[in-house]
Amino acid sequence: MCGIVGYIGYRPVVPILIQGLKRLEYRGYDSAGIAVLDDRQQLHVIKRAGKVNDLATTVESLPIPSTIGIGHTRWATHGVPNDTNAHPHTDQDRRLALVHNGIIENYQAIRTQLLREGYQLKTETDTEVLTVFIRSFYDKVGDLREAVRLALAEVEGTFGIAIVSPLEPDLLIAARRGSPLLIGLGNNENFVASDAAAVIQYTRNVIFLQDNEISFIQQGEYEIRTIDNQPSAPEIFKIEYDLEQIEKGGYEHFMLKEIFEQPTTFRDACRGRILLEDGNVRLGGLRPVADKLQRAQRLIFTACGTSWHAALVGEYLIEDLARIPVEVEYASEFRYRNPVLSKDDIVIAISQSGETADTLAAIREAKLRGATTLGIVNVVGSTIARETDAGVYIHAGPEIGVASTKAFTSQLAVLSLLAIYLGRMRHLSPEDGRTLLRELQAIPEKIQQILQQAELIQHVALQYKDAANFLYLGRSYNFPVALEGALKLKEISYIHAEGYPAAEMKHGPIALIDENMPVVFIAPRDELYEKILSNIEEVRARGGKIISIATEGDHKIADVSDHTIYIPRTLPYFTPVLSVIPLQLLAYYIAVERGCNVDMPRNLAKSVTVE
């Protein structure tokens, strides 16, 4: 949720921390701060409410000679966003500085204990409590490494932390439980970060800390141990993406760049996986569970937000093409109820980051109950990727915009491949497989055609930027797209929007329709086309403004719509990939016209790693 960066080495640390925080700002942006040790082993802590640029302006006027430090950009959980509650936090005499992602669930009990023992606390945050708690153990044992280990053994909840201290000025400490953290390995220098984007400029070699691991990092070496003091043998991963992929590349916003990357990212999700001659699919990551997939009696998708909408499309795809019953569960609900699972069930987690707290907890619950677990994730080495029995990467590359776009269509690409893969295990013929795969290969070019209508969509956005409400309606495969279109608009423009199955409009939402209500219909030429035309007429009769996403050449629907945005013709299974593109652009341009910060919408962060 928040962003952490740390460094120990030979370079000046402050520019590294500030640059790293700017690259992590999509993870949290209500306050930011750094803590560094100068060449006299004095601790300097500078923190500010607001954006990282506000912090950078302050730091520029305070040159500090230092080669070790930590930084944090915050998305508030405990305590309002202000200078005091910003990270890093220190103990009362500034012998310890700590940054923290996550939530310490028993911090109130620890706080009471610390106050009873005479320690002082200045904020209401759980992070300050953790900092002072570690200091209290140091006062008992006189060893910082042991103090961190003992304190974390008593902590309940989630954390990713980094620590620097004048008590051991040549040591950077990092630890995690439930909140992602990695170590970047350099040449006579090392890094800590919550996301590889912060360190990719300096190194591609990283170690993803596992839950309940602590790393003791020095300039040219590191040691990793578990909280119960057992040595750990880490795996080193190589980050595959380039620095250019996390830059805007001339676009005004990351979101717009990522929308326009979708012809490439969709193609990348399919690359090397299509066996056209056989009418089949190669998903090497599923090879270990291929026999279980062949026998599967039920699939259960679990996800949150945009990934949940992708899962709904996956349900339609797999039930149509493979004839396997599919259920779709909100991870936040699945993890807390008493789901009925068997050893023949397969639970599939979908998560862009691979770190979504609720989705990860749902997968762990499924494993406890004996189900096979799979992951569909974007981030290589993420926790869900490591903890599931098998899985598939979507290969969308780094997605910086908080509102997901290219990850959604890449998820749909993988789900389409998965449906064909499962179908070919059952009744789907090679000929039908080839037909589906040829069309899947044609999708990137069709996405490109839609993107060429950006100026038209911007014109539509200009007319509805002041609307108070929107309604999005679709049927069958395009009902989840209606949900996704509404979510995109809400996330970045702050306009209230709802998505519904078009037929459900008559069961309540039709009461909202008047001349001030824009209604977006996803209305491709499919077997339900005449039905959705009837829904459009019902909205017209009540004065609603109609924006239709229609199949190229469909002039009939243009006659009953105020605005028509065309998508190329495709098979019904793949219409969601095309129909969502205009909705992404519509949301983007409306948000820009309203003056919203598209890449950093209020109250949202990219990866939800806390409950």
Distance CA 530, CA 533 (A): 5
Residue 254 is encoded by which pair of tokens?
């990351």
Distance CA 208, CA 270 (A): 27
Specify whether the CB–CB gap between 34 and 14 falls below 8 A: yes
Residue 337 is encoded by which pair of tokens?
């109820």
Distance CA 97, CA 103 (A): 17
User: Which amino acid, 318?
Assistant: I
Looking from the CA of 456 toward its CB, the CA atoms found within 13 Å total 15
End-to-end CA distance of the chain: 10
Dihedral sign for Cα atoms in the order 12, 15, 17, 19: negative
Look up 47 and say whether it is catalytic.
no
**Can you say whether residue 98 is alpha, beta or left, with left for phi > 0 and alpha for psi between -120 and 50 degrees?**
beta
Residue 192 is encoded by which pair of tokens?
């800590």
Specify whether the CB–CB gap between 398 and 248 falls below 8 A: no
Look up 606 and say whether it is catalytic.
yes
Catalytic residue chosen out of the listed positions 2, 270, 304, 596: 2
Specify whether the CB–CB gap between 505 and 475 falls below 8 A: no
- Least Cα distance to 560 among 533, 582, 586 occurs for 533
Kindly provide the residue ranges of all beta strands, DSSP E only, lying in 342-437, ordered along the sequence.
345-351, 372-377, 390-393
Catalytic residue chosen out of the listed positions 22, 51, 488, 606: 606
Measured from the Cβ of residue 120, the count of other Cβ atoms closer than 10 Å reads: 11
Find residue 97's DSSP bridge partners.
Answer: 90, 164
Residue 384: in which H helix or E strand, if any?
helix 383-387
| Residue listed under structure tokens 């940054």 | 99
Specify whether the CB–CB gap between 133 and 127 falls below 8 A: no
* Radius of gyration of the chain, Cα coordinates, nearest whole angstrom: 25
Residue 222: in which H helix or E strand, if any?
strand 222-226
Find residue 47's DSSP bridge partners.
Answer: 33
In 323-337, which positions are buried (b, 16+ CB within 10 angstroms) versus exposed (e)? ebebebbbbbebbee
Find residue 348's DSSP bridge partners.
Answer: 301, 374
| Residues annotated as part of the active site | 2, 606
